[in-house]
């Protein structure tokens, strides 16, 4: 991720707190770990050992979110916000093991996922407070992520499960998830606003909890 200030990207402070590290850009594009310098996570965030947290759980969390949204770009945004919130909440973490740290991180991500299911939008307040942004992921990396997440097979399963949704919701999910249209195109096809299209898709995905994430979907409607 890169830091934003007054409309332009800046380098974030180095992990040592001595100011910008001139040897690298502090960006994390929401990519699989092998495509990102691990040091950038700690460099961008500092504090709690987020570099180790990212190295241990970053890849798997990104795949997890991709499978539960069937949308790599939504997953990348949720992933970025989850790490931003992890940084902000680092002082409250009391775990002592990698397993506890992973569970803590996934809990943050699950809450973001539930909110997405409920509202059809992604919370980015932590990123905004930290003045960070997620640069667009290159097409090749998106393709690799979707292959790791098995989105082709998942979309086939979703196509079958769509029969259980209401017609309005089914049409929105079909266009967005199965046919992979943008939200603007979905809205135009259905004659609705883009925010309404987003809500229909997110609630449709919540209804497909068996294929996606039952716990997050239950939290979304509770």
Q: What's the whole-number mean pLDDT along residues 9-15? A: 36
- Give first-to-last CA distance, the chain, whole Å: 32
Task: Looking at the structure, tell me whether residues 73 and 154 fall in a common domain.
Answer: no
The contacts of residue 12 (CB under 8 Å, 6+ apart) are 1, 2, 3, 20, 26, 43, 44, 45, 46, 132
Alpha-carbon distance of 118 to 206, in angstroms, equals 8
Report residue 188's pLDDT band, with 50, 70 and 90 as the boundaries: very high
What percentage of the chain carries pLDDT values higher than 90? 31
Strands 8-10 and 132-133: unpaired
Domain boundary among 143, 178, 197: 143
**Whether residues 167 and 109 fall in one domain:** no
Are 89 and 55 in a shared domain? Answer: yes
One domain for residues 101 and 175: no
Does residue 170 share a domain with residue 115?
no
162 and 131, same structural domain? no
Task: Indicate the pLDDT class of residue 213, thresholds 50, 70 and 90.
Answer: low
Closest to 65 in 3D by CA, of 100, 101, 26, 30: 30
Q: What pLDDT score does 116 carry?
A: 84
In DSSP terms, 3 is beta-bridged to: 10, 132
Both 12 and 76 in one domain: the answer is yes
Give the pLDDT confidence of 198-209 residue by residue, as tens digits: 999 888 888 876
Judge whether residue 181 has pLDDT over 70.
Answer: yes
Q: State whether 125 and 207 are in the same domain.
A: no
pLDDT exceeds cutoff 60 at 151: yes
193 exposure class (CB count in 10 Å sphere: 0-12, 13-18, 19+)? exposed
| Claim to verify: residue 216 and residue 133 sit in the same structural domain | no
- 131 and 170 in a single domain? The answer is no
pTM for the full model?
0.64
R_g of the chain, CA atoms, integer Å: 18
Q: Are 105 and 89 in contact (CB under 8 A)?
A: no
* Residue linked to tokens 């949720």: 78
Residue 35 has pLDDT above 50, yes or no: no
Residue 83 — pLDDT band, cuts 50, 70, 90? very high
For residue 133, the surrounding DSSP H or E stretch is strand 132-133
Share of the chain above pLDDT 70, in %: 72
| pLDDT higher at 213 or 13 | 213
Structural domain boundaries enclosing 103: 2-143
Statement to judge: residues 114 and 217 lie in one domain: no
Partnered with residue 4 across adjacent β-strands are: 9
Q: What values do phi and psi take at 132, rounded to 5?
A: -115, 155
Shared-domain flag, residues 194 and 94:
no
Please say whether the beta carbons of 79 and 30 come within 8 A: yes
């Amino acid at each position: 991720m890169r830091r934003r200030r007054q409309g332009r990207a800046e380098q974030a402070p180095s992990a040592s707190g001595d100011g910008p590290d001139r040897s690298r850009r502090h960006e994390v594009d929401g990519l699989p770990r092998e495509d990102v310098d691990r040091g950038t996570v700690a460099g961008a965030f500092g504090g709690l050992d987020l570099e180790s947290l990212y190295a241990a759980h970053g890849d798997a969390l990104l795949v997890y979110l991709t499978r539960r949204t069937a949308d790599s770009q939504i997953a990348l945004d949720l992933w970025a916000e989850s790490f931003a919130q992890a940084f902000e909440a680092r002082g409250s973490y009391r775990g002592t093991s990698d397993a506890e740290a992973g569970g803590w991180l996934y809990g943050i991500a699950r809450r973001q996922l539930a909110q997405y299911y409920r509202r059809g939008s992604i919370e980015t307040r932590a990123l905004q407070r930290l003045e960070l942004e997620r640069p667009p992921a290159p097409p090749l990396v998106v393709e690799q992520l979707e292959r790791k997440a098995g989105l082709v097979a998942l979309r086939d399963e979703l196509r079958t499960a769509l029969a259980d949704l209401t017609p309005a919701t089914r049409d929105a999910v079909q266009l967005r998830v199965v046919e992979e249209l943008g939200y603007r195109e979905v809205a135009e096809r259905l004659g609705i606003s883009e925010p309404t299209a987003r809500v229909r898709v997110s609630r449709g995905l919540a209804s497909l909890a068996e294929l996606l994430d039952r716990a997050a979907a239950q939290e979304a409607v509770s």
